[in-house]
Amino acid sequence: MVLVTVTLHYWTLYGLSAFLKRWKQRFRGEILFVVIAMFAAHMVEITLYGWVYLLLDNNDTAMSIGGAVDGSFLDHLYFSAACYTSLGLGDLFPMGTLRLIAGVEALNGLILITWSASFAFLVMQRRWRF
């Protein structure tokens, strides 16, 4: 999953960079466009991890999510978002092997979020003139 999400993020940022290079004329909402595109990429990455949790959750202690879970995709998506953003609310928690995947997702999310922040900073630094 790390390879998939990092590759997806790379191509998102690469595409945004190429779009901004081709678009020589500055437009008012370019940073807004960049932020929305990066947010969409993060949501896709969170959703991919949510699907992984749903596929791996076998409702026993060897590999499952504990807490107030009804087994729906939304529970797994919520758990993925809490891990990816390192929010870690604690109402849902991984058990068994999913603990390792949740930890890797948290590290992966931290790296991708900071990569997005760095990219947004560079776009603002290079294209915004005050």
pLDDT (tens digit per residue) in 58-77 = 766 667 888 888 889 999 99
Report all structural domains of the chain as residue ranges with CATH numbers, in order of start.
2-14+41-124 (1.10.287.70)
Taking the complete model, does pTM exceed 0.75, yes or no?
yes
Residue 104's pLDDT band, with cuts at 50, 70 and 90, is very high
Residues with Cβ within 8 Å of 31's Cβ and at least 6 positions away in sequence, in order, are: 120, 123, 124, 127, 128
User: What does the block give as tokens for 60?
Assistant: 């026993």
